[in-house]
């Protein structure tokens, strides 16, 4: 147990302070505070000693120096069971500080509200994190509280143990305190990195705030949670309007769908995702036709998938959606009748993505004690650097389908082959260990569901063809145009096969592996 005699309170968020002050008063615990917190405590009718009076040192530099004083930090840090520490404290006539309640300047809030660098920098807290680190380090004797949500647990401790706290509670709060300082410093660090355009610093820290615990991870035996890591937003701006709670796999598929949906598709577009791979993508002047064509690409795989739309869903589209089982529907709004129809399926998650937008320029993957970080793949290809390597040249309309096919291709797990007709996928081969198998799967899908659209269609490959066998498979199926990066040592052999079949082939010079 650790008896509390003196407490220091310095909080930016002053909510729920009264309940804490009441229990401190009941246990005859002295309170030290400064600035706005001091005024709030006095206004609530409780006794409090102002920090400057306590230290005998007036705050200076516009409040930048207040609690950075030996009397404060000695009171927090001294070891109560060490004789030399006790003697030094007695000689200086410094009292112990046994409870520290601190939350930081609202740096995170300020950067979301203003672009003024002066205001932002002034909201970098120095004294607060310093006291928190000191108190957390000395958890054997000092209780540190950094979250107002822990006030109730502190009150329970003080009530149960008559003004004392247990070691297990102090250690738990110390762990949380270091999480708070690490989170705070990571946000400040990331703001500086973005301000100077530094994507890959020598030392990289990630920050995250837990949004919710999910039912489980990819599988029922795995635990999982979702976090927000943003300098601009307090949530991920996915507004759920109906259905069951979103799962880990739902979120994984949602993010895969949003990557495609917000990749620059200009017309009304629909993306249907299954296990993080698209099974249908279509852009059309008619939103309704866009949905129908995306689903028609692979209706079997679409079952149980998620639908993402960059348009507002109306009654007609909602009725069509409800004919099939989908896990999640994402759209830029829903009219009243559409929402009423979709909510009839109680388990289907309905999400509004109207306010969703991207923030980070990088993406990462974690592997135990290491991680990879890279720039996002925002490029499709350089139009001026496209090279037609065959005798036959594509038309302007074909160039539109070429761009659509290659754009979709970069979001499919490699090896990836996408077959397209009129801005709609008709066959997708994904995630195979060799490109020939991906070609075969894409053709098999097209023959199964869209055979009439296969002749004169366009195929895209995320990387070069190492042999001519892949393009020969596509050619035999009726494909007349192929777009690929090029760059194989057998490019000449591949081009000869294309010319012999009198098809058109475009080299982009850009590869789109997606592992």
Longest CA–CA separation in the chain, Å: 97
Is-contact 426 280, C-beta < 8 A? no
Provide the CATH topology of domain 2-195: Rossmann fold (3.40.50)
Q: What is the model's pLDDT at position 326?
A: 97
For the chain, the 3-state helix, strand and coil shares in percent, each to the nearest 5, are 40, 20, 40
3-state secondary structure of 36: helix
pLDDT tens per residue across span 450-498: 999 999 999 999 999 999 999 999 999 999 999 999 999 999 999 999 9
Q: What is the model's pLDDT at position 160?
A: 92
185: pLDDT strictly greater than 90: yes
Q: What is the model's pLDDT at position 477?
A: 95
Supply 264's token pair: 């620059």
Binned at pLDDT 50, 70 and 90, residue 285 comes out as very high
User: DSSP states of 133-164 as a string?
Assistant: HHHHHTTTT-EEE--GGGHHHHHHHHHHTTTE
Q: Which of 5, 25, 275, 332 is catalytic?
A: 275
Full-model pTM: 0.87
89: pLDDT strictly greater than 90: no
Q: For residues 125 and 107, what is the distance between their CA atoms, to the nearest angstrom?
A: 8
Q: Where in the chain is the domain with CATH 3.40.140.20?
A: 211-216+238-352, 385-507
Q: What is the model's pLDDT at position 80?
A: 87
Place of tokens 């066998």: 469
Is-contact 259 357, C-beta < 8 A? no
Q: Which of 3, 39, 86, 137 is catalytic?
A: 137
Report, as an integer, the average pLDDT of 340-367: 93
pLDDT tens per residue across span 247-279: 999 999 999 999 999 998 989 999 999 999 999
Q: Which CATH architecture has domain 385-507?
A: 3-Layer(aba) Sandwich (3.40)
62: pLDDT strictly greater than 80: no
Place of tokens 């596509």: 474
Q: For residues 22 and 17, what is the distance between their CA atoms, to the nearest angstrom?
A: 9
Binned at pLDDT 50, 70 and 90, residue 67 comes out as confident
Q: Cβ contacts of residue 470 below 8 Å, gap of 6+?
A: 417, 435, 436, 438, 439, 461
Is-contact 142 191, C-beta < 8 A? no
**Catalytic annotation present for 25:** no
Q: For residues 232 and 22, what is the distance between their CA atoms, to the nearest angstrom?
A: 37
Q: Is 423 left (phi over 0), alpha (psi -120 to 50) or beta?
A: left
Q: What is the model's pLDDT at position 66?
A: 80
Q: For residues 6 and 380, what is the distance between their CA atoms, to the nearest angstrom?
A: 63
Binned at pLDDT 50, 70 and 90, residue 233 comes out as confident
Helices (H), 229-378: 248-261, 287-297, 299-302, 315-321, 336-342
169: phi then psi, degrees, rounded to nearest 5: -65, -45
3-state secondary structure of 99: strand
Report, as an integer, the average pLDDT of 53-69: 81
63: pLDDT strictly greater than 80: no
Share of the chain above pLDDT 90, in %: 81
- Calculate the average pLDDT of the chain: 93
Q: What is the model's pLDDT at position 100?
A: 96
Is-contact 482 458, C-beta < 8 A? yes
Number of Cβ within a 10 Å radius of residue 230: 19
Long-range contacts of 111-120 (CB under 8 A, 24+ apart): 111/187, 111/191, 111/231, 111/232, 112/231, 112/232, 112/233, 112/234, 117/195, 120/191
Q: Where in the chain is the domain with CATH 3.40.50.1380?
A: 2-195
Q: What is the model's pLDDT at position 512?
A: 93
Q: Side-chain half-sphere of 226: how many Cα atoms within 13 Å? A: 19
186: pLDDT strictly greater than 90: yes
pLDDT tens per residue across span 37-54: 999 999 999 999 998 889
Q: What is the model's pLDDT at position 68?
A: 82
Preceding omega of 415 cis (within 30 degrees of 0): yes
CB-based burial, 116-138: b 16+ in 10 Å, e otherwise = eeeebeebbbebbbbbbbbbbeb
Hey, which of 30-34, 36-40, 354-358, 445-449 has the most confident mean pLDDT? 445-449
Q: Cβ contacts of residue 60 below 8 Å, gap of 6+?
A: none
Interstrand relation of 269-274 and 239-242 (parallel, antiparallel or unpaired): unpaired
Q: What is the model's pLDDT at position 35?
A: 83
* Crossing angle of helices 491-500 and 469-476, rounded to 10°: 20
Report the CATH number of the 211-216+238-352 domain: 3.40.140.20
Q: For residues 308 and 332, what is the distance between their CA atoms, to the nearest angstrom?
A: 9
Q: What is the model's pLDDT at position 2?
A: 76
**Catalytic annotation present for 275:** yes
pLDDT tens per residue across span 366-412: 998 898 999 899 999 999 999 999 999 999 889 999 999 999 999 99
Q: For residues 467 and 477, what is the distance between their CA atoms, to the nearest angstrom?
A: 17
Is-contact 123 106, C-beta < 8 A? yes
Residue of 125, 133, 123, 69 whose CA lies nearest to 100: 133
Place of tokens 């930016």: 12
Q: For residues 405 and 398, what is the distance between their CA atoms, to the nearest angstrom?
A: 10
99: pLDDT strictly greater than 80: yes
Interstrand relation of 99-103 and 328-331 (parallel, antiparallel or unpaired): unpaired
Q: What is the model's pLDDT at position 82?
A: 86
Binned at pLDDT 50, 70 and 90, residue 56 comes out as confident
Q: What is the model's pLDDT at position 27?
A: 93
423: phi then psi, degrees, rounded to nearest 5: 60, 30
Q: For residues 271 and 267, what is the distance between their CA atoms, to the nearest angstrom?
A: 12
Residue of 264, 268, 358 whose CA lies nearest to 313: 268
Q: Side-chain half-sphere of 302: how many Cα atoms within 13 Å? A: 27
């Amino acid at each position: 147990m650790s008896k509390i005699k003196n407490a220091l309170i310095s909080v930016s968020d002053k909510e729920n302070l009264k309940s804490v002050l009441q229990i401190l008063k009941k246990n005859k615990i002295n309170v030290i505070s400064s600035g706005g917190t001091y005024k709030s405590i006095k206004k609530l009718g409780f006794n409090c000693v102002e920090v400057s009076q306590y230290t005998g040192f007036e705050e200076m530099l516009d409040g930048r120096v207040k609690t950075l004083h030996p009397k404060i930090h000695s009171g927090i840090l001294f070891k109560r069971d060490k004789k030399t520490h006790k003697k030094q404290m007695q000689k200086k006539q410094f009292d112990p500080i046994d409870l520290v309640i601190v939350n930081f300047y609202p740096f995170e809030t300020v950067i979301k509200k203003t672009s003024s660098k002066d205001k932002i920098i002034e909201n970098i807290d120095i004294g607060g994190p310093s006291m928190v680190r000191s108190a957390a380090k000395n958890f054997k004797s000092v209780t540190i509280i950094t979250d107002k949500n822990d006030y109730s647990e502190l009150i329970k401790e003080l009530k149960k143990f008559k003004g004392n706290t247990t070691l297990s509670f102090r250690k738990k709060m110390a762990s949380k305190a270091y999480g708070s300082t690490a989170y705070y410093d990571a946000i400040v660090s990331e703001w500086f990195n973005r301000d100077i355009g530094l994507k890959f610093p020598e030392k990289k820290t990630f920050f995250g705030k837990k949004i919710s615990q999910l039912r489980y991870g990819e599988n029922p035996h795995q635990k999982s949670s979702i976090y927000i890591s943003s300098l601009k937003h307090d949530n991920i701006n996915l507004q759920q309007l109906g259905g069951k709670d979103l799962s880990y796999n739902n979120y994984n598929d949602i993010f895969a769908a949003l990557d495609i949906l917000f990749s620059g598709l200009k017309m009304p577009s629909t993306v249907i995702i299954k296990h993080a791979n698209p099974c249908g993508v279509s852009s059309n002047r008619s939103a309704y036709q866009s949905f129908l064509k995306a689903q028609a690409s692979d209706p079997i795989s679409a079952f149980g998938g998620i639908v993402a739309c960059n348009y507002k869903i109306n009654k007609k589209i909602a009725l069509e959606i409800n004919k099939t089982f989908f896990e999640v529907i994402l759209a830029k709004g829903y009219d009243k009748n559409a929402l009423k129809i979709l909510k009839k399926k109680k388990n289907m998650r309905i999400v509004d993505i109207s306010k969703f937008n991207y923030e980070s320029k990088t993406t990462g993957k974690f592997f135990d004690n290491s991680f990879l970080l890279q720039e996002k793949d925002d490029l499709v290809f350089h139009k001026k650097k496209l090279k037609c390597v065959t005798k036959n040249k594509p038309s302007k309309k074909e160039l539109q389908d070429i761009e659509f096919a290659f754009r979709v291709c970069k979001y499919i797990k490699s090896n990836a082959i996408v077959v397209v007709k009129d801005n709609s996928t008709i066959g997708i081969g994904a995630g195979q260990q060799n490109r020939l198998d991906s070609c075969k799967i894409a053709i098999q899908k097209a023959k199964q569901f869209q055979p009439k659209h296969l002749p004169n269609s366009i195929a895209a490959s995320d990387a070069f063809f190492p042999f001519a066998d892949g393009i020969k498979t596509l050619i035999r199926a009726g494909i007349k145009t192929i777009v690929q990066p090029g760059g194989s040592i057998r490019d000449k052999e591949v081009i000869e096969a294309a010319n012999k079949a009198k098809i058109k082939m475009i080299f982009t010079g850009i590869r789109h592996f997606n592992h």
